[in-house]
Amino acid sequence: MADLNIVALVGRLTRDAELKYSNSGVAITKLSLAVNSRTKKDDTWQDEAHFFDAVVLGRRGEAIAQYLVKGKQIAVQGELRQDRWEQDGQRRSRVEIFVRDIQLLGGGRSGGADSGGYGSGGHASEGGRPDEQRPAGRDVPVADDFDDDIPF
């Protein structure tokens, strides 16, 4: 069987994203993600936070960095990479998520569902660019005959 290195997380940013550039001009966006979990010990539920560092390289990270603010809920998908170095004669290492895909989900500083200004899921809205205006009298009709017999 082949090796597999895939990670997918949904959590909230613990600080604003940090955008830097390498010597060769590649954008490096670093972020920190908190993922909460709940476990039951005896008769009580306990919340526990897990913290992860992630890196987004290139234009994707550069374009989205301004929306990655503390408290914003995001989803990341990528792979784990281990960085090793020696400092003061001691071996050190750090595991980071190398992000391949990132989505803005909602919530943020103002707590609103789309407070990032980028829309839910990080995609542009269906109506086109925000500066476009629809012609007067051309609104989409709303069905008033909706049946309330929904089984769930």
pLDDT digits (tens, 9 = 90+) for 16-73: 999 999 999 999 999 999 999 988 888 899 899 999 999 999 999 999 999 999 999 9
Say how many domains are in the chain: 1
pLDDT of residue 107: 60
Provide the percentage of residues in the chain whose pLDDT is more than 70.
70
Does 70 reside within a domain? yes
In the chain, the percentage of residues whose pLDDT exceeds 90 is: 59
Query: Is residue 93 in some structural domain?
Result: yes
The whole-number pLDDT of residue 128 equals 37
Per-residue pLDDT band at 139 (split at 50, 70, 90): very low
152 in a structural domain:
no
More confident residue, 16 or 138: 16
Instruction: Centre a 10 Å sphere on the Cβ of residue 130 and count the other Cβ atoms it contains.
Output: 10
Q: Is residue 16, in this structure, part of any structural domain at all?
A: yes
Average pLDDT over residues 7-13: 95
- Domain extent at residue 50: 7-38+46-121
CATH number for 51: 2.40.50.140
Q: Is residue 103 part of a domain?
A: yes
